[in-house]
Amino acid sequence: MTLKLFFLLLLVAVPAVTHGADEETIAALHEQVVQVPLQVRGLFGTQEVKLTATVYRPDGNGPFPLVVLNHGSRTDATVRAKIGRFRRIPQIREFIKRGFAVIVPIRRGHGATGGDYVEGFGKCIAPEYDQSARESARDVLAARDFGSKLPFVNPECILLVGQSAGGLACLAAASFNPPGVTGVVNFAGGSGGNPDTHPGEPCTPHSMTVLISKFAKSIRVPVLWHYAENDKFFAPSYVREWFSAFEEAGGKGQLVIQPPFGTDGHTLFLTKEGIPIWTRALDSFLKDFDVGGAKCRSAIKRTF
């Protein structure tokens, strides 16, 4: 059996769980639920776990550039469970319109994947952001590996996209220089924020500055940093400090801080009302940095 045939059978064999979604939407986006393998080392050796992921693609055979779309996280297990498959159809459609296939992995300890939560950062006074980010990066990279082998994907044109903790996970993943990754989009990325107890004030923000600088030293692709002035997790002053550390360590990219959005700018990417805002920034980023160069230029449908 050829590798291409194997993946086609895998995609057909696992139907999407609709949760009330209409079948027309599922068909239009070619939605399929898949299981992404990940090797995890524990006390009793290495075992394989499965990350539940959902794949979407445009009409046609491709090859399409790929977006690996990553959700956020909370310390509350009940909130994490509600992530489900992170089925953000309006946002996913925007990537499809631009010619991307999309894979949405659910990281360990969240939503449809469940299992052990590995992204805890410990105490607020001394957060272990590095270990947390690297664990989440492993899940992102597993999805990248899986997605790059799909028969309709261009494995040399992959964009890592994440919101909140998913944005930080993408930065961590990019620091490993995975093959085919040509850019990162970080929507309100970071860790340690809690709008209920200390709005806008993440735990020990300088620790995040140090970590960002560390990641930036080995990130070779451009990064779009996209935030809003009224982010209740990460205030703009800290975001600017993080981005400065990113640039000073050799990272290249663009920081966009939008005017206040709704009651909490941290949710901008997650709302329908935010779509016209972040898509303008995305299109500008893709154009200004010529993300992926010639190998991706003809595949990405320009909307500008």
Tally of CB atoms within 10 A around 48: 8
Asked whether the predicted pLDDT for residue 11 surpasses 70, the reply is: no
pLDDT tens column, 32-80: 999 999 998 877 778 899 999 999 999 999 999 999 999 999 888 899 9
Task: Quote the pLDDT of residue 234.
Answer: 97
Question: CA 119, CA 149: separation in Å to the nearest integer?
Answer: 27
Which residue type sits at 24?
E
Arithmetic mean of pLDDT, 244-251: 98
Buried b (16+ CB within 10 A) or exposed e, 74-94: beeeeebeebebbbbeebbbb
Instruction: Identify the pLDDT of residue 74.
Output: 87
pLDDT average, residue stretch 191-198:
88
> Residue 109 in contact with residue 49, Cβ under 8 Å?
no
Residue 303: what pLDDT? 55
CA-to-CA distance for 294 and 178, rounded, in angstroms?
19
Instruction: Take residue 293 and report the two structure tokens written for it.
Output: 């160069």
pLDDT band at 157 (very low <50, low <70, confident <90, very high): very high
Q: DSSP strand E in the chain: where?
A: 32-42, 45-56, 64-70, 101-105, 153-163, 181-187, 223-228, 253-258
Please choose, from the candidates 295, 6, 9, the residue with its C-alpha nearest in 3D space to the C-alpha of residue 154. 295
pLDDT tens by residue, 78-118: 999 999 999 999 999 999 999 999 999 999 999 999 999 89
Q: Which phi and psi (to 5°) does residue 20 adopt?
A: 90, -5
pLDDT at 302: 65
Within 82-174, residue ranges assigned H as helices are 89-97, 129-148, 165-174
Least confident of 129-143, 175-189, 190-204: 190-204
Helices and strands: H and E segment counts in the chain:
10, 8
- Do residues 243 and 215 touch, judged by C-beta distance below 8 A? no
Residue percentage of the chain with pLDDT more than 90: 80
Q: 107 has which bridge partners? A: none
Question: Does domain 30-297 fall into CATH 3.40.50.1820?
Answer: yes
Residue 13, pLDDT > 50, answer: no
Can you tell me the distance from the alpha carbon of 222 to that of 256, in angstroms, rounded to the nearest whole number? 14
- For the chain, give the percent of residues with pLDDT over 70: 92
pLDDT confidence of residue 9: 43
